[in-house]
Amino acid sequence: DVKVTQSSRYLVKRTGEKVFLECVQDMDHENMFWYRQDPGLGLRLIYFSYDVKMKEKGDIPEGYSVSREKKERFSLILESASTNQTSMYLCATSVRSGSSYNEQFFGPGTRLTVL
């Protein structure tokens, strides 16, 4: 089974702090994604990576950056956390070959609170 792990289940940070969220997968998937999930808004894509050192902006990249130095690890960075970034953050992976047919595999999520 694919295993996608996220570094923290719960995180509390202060406004202006730099925040790192880590995602690690063990199934050699090429595609990795970061979403945020908010009530009534569903899942919104922040960033997407289809290979090491490659990244693409999603629908809401403002205030975020990402890093993918190794295939199994995809990091989301909040350069200067703000209260409106309080949310549930979900990491997901998928196989790149035949991408349109492939489901995504999700981690358990990190609930981030910015005070």
Residues near other proteins (CB under 8 A) are 4, 31, 33, 40-43, 45, 48, 50, 58, 90, 92, 94, 96, 99-109
Distance separating alpha carbons of residues 19 and 95, to the nearest angstrom: 28
What is the nearest approach in angstroms of other proteins to the Cβ of residue 46?
12
Of 10 and 69, CB closest to other proteins: 10
What is the nearest approach in angstroms of other proteins to the Cβ of residue 25?
12
What is the nearest approach in angstroms of other proteins to the Cβ of residue 77?
20
- Put residue 40 in one of left, alpha, beta given phi > 0 → left and psi -120 to 50 → alpha: left
Answer for the pair 92, 3: CB distance below 8 angstroms, yes or no: no
Amino acid (1-letter code) at residue 37: Q
Tokens of 47: 């960033």
Of 78 and 91, CB closest to other proteins: 91
